[in-house]
Amino acid sequence: MRLLLTLILGALIGASVLVWMTQPSPSTGGRVPLTWVSDENPLRKEQTALFQRNNPGITVNLDPGSSALEKIIVQSLAGVGPDVFDAFDGFQLAAYVKSGVAMDVTDELKSHGLDLKRDVFPGLSVNCFFEGRTYGVPTNIAADGTWYHAEILRKEGIQLPQGEWRWSEMIPIAEKLTKRDPTGKVLQYGLLFDWWNWMDFFAGYNARLFTPDGRTCIVNQPEAVAAVQMMRDLVYKYKVAPTPGEESSMSTAGGFGSGTITFFGARRGAMAIGGRWWLSQLRSYKGLDLGVTESPTGTIRQYRAYGRATLVNKNSPHLKEALEFQRFMASLDYLKLVNNQADGIAAFPAADQGDAFLHNPKHPEETFNAVWKKIADHSAPDEVSPFIDAGSVAREMKVQMDLVQAGQKSAQEAMAAAARNINAAIAKGLKEDPALAKRFRDLDKP
């Protein structure tokens, strides 16, 4: 028995040594492997293929399974992080920088003649820059417009305004387009929108999260209250958008871009607020006759800008190749591909013009690309405060928006509570961090 067990132990040790000795080399076939953590958008494969064609010495392995912020940070700090990864907003960028994961590429980009402040949409500044230094190269920009099913609107004799318009004009149209069966069950919503995208409503009302110095949260101001009130009214007063229950039934499918997009694609909504990137899914629907116009706003022609930016892991063992990949995001080849794929629009306005941008020969039915450019031109970045991390703000806002969405709080009550709680969190942070408190006080100095 003892002999048998000893033999088993010996065999296990021998097998382990064998596996260790025969594991494949990290640079298979002489090519350097890069791991890119991005979302699970199917368009990424074509993007990596293009890079590999231009850089035959590098293989890019896409790893969408690790795309959560916490996974990237923990893996990177443990020394097994990806070489390049994407940040989707200012909060993520700040988290990557503060945790010491993101590489400062200011000088690197400058040495290659890239000036992001000059060359990309200003709405993307929070995705690229942190405290004056550059970390991310934006890979696309998304600013939402209003999608509509042209044939549904034609049938109703409705023509949507082009350019700037207001919610007061939208509401009667959405009411006309909301169809119910005799029992009152909604067959078609006038307008679909995502509650997580409250910042877009804020932008249209010129509502501010913070005072310009970032020291005080002011979501209790009338502009922000009006923005949230409009979201609530669309659901409960005008009844043109889904309630939380109806909305939850849209998001059970899972996967990339599911939810509101599939609901809209299935014509359960006549109009929907969303980005050009929706086409990555909507193109697969047969027989859609789509149109796009700017979204209605409250008081000002302004939309929320969002998008992706690619960052380099400063501890990557393949820094040279990782930087090469990051710069590829600013190359004309890549920008053209983004526009052709409709992965938002290219983050560099110079690429978003001319016939090649306006008319995609593969999709002649998409006659609205100029509208997306105009929306991006009028887009504004998310607000961030140096005195509180954007994640804490997002969490607090989510709690309050949940209560508004469920009809349990008025917009005014919710925004008053949000401002109170966020300001309390700022005060707590200042108490715990003397350096931050000094920076806060220094703003008073002339």
Distance CA 340, CA 362 (A): 9
Pick from 249, 284, 333, 363 the residue near another protein by CB under 8 A.
249
Asked whether the beta carbons of 307 and 139 are under 8 A apart, the reply is yes
Pick from 194, 299, 391, 427 the residue near another protein by CB under 8 A.
391
Q: Which residue type is seen at 378?
A: H
Pick from 244, 255, 317, 353 the residue near another protein by CB under 8 A.
244
Q: Answer yes or no whether residue 183 interacts with another protein by CB under 8 A.
A: no
Residue whose entry in the numeric block shows the structure tokens 């368009």 = 43
Q: Answer yes or no whether residue 176 interacts with another protein by CB under 8 A.
A: no
Pick from 403, 416, 427, 439 the residue near another protein by CB under 8 A.
403
Q: Which is nearer to another protein, 171 or 186 (CB)?
A: 186
Pick from 15, 28, 46, 70 the residue near another protein by CB under 8 A.
70
Q: Answer yes or no whether residue 433 interacts with another protein by CB under 8 A.
A: yes
Structure tokens at 187: 């067959």
Query: Per-residue contact track with another protein, 93 to 122, x per CB under 8 A?
Result: -xx--xxx----------------------
Q: Long-range contacts made by residues 352-361, C-beta under 8 angstroms, separation at least 24?
A: 352/376
What is the DSSP-derived secondary structure letter of residue 387? T
CA 445 remoteness from chain centre: 36
Q: Which is nearer to another protein, 143 or 240 (CB)?
A: 240
What is the DSSP-derived secondary structure letter of residue 124? G
Q: Which is nearer to another protein, 341 or 405 (CB)?
A: 405
Q: Which is nearer to another protein, 194 or 402 (CB)?
A: 402
Sign of CA dihedral 404, 408, 412, 413: negative
Strand, coil or helix: 6: helix
Asked whether the beta carbons of 176 and 155 are under 8 A apart, the reply is no
Pick from 245, 287, 364, 446 the residue near another protein by CB under 8 A.
245
CB count within 10 Å of CB 258 equals 14
| H or E stretch at 246 | helix 244-250
Pick from 62, 73, 347, 388 the residue near another protein by CB under 8 A.
73
Q: Which is nearer to another protein, 332 or 399 (CB)?
A: 399
Q: Answer yes or no whether residue 389 interacts with another protein by CB under 8 A.
A: yes
Q: Answer yes or no whether residue 69 interacts with another protein by CB under 8 A.
A: yes
Asked whether the beta carbons of 383 and 180 are under 8 A apart, the reply is no
Asked whether the beta carbons of 141 and 124 are under 8 A apart, the reply is yes
**For binding to another protein (CB under 8 A), which residues are involved?**
2, 5-6, 9, 69-70, 73-74, 77, 94-95, 98-100, 244-246, 248-249, 252, 389, 391-392, 398-400, 402-403, 405-406, 408, 417, 432-433, 435-436
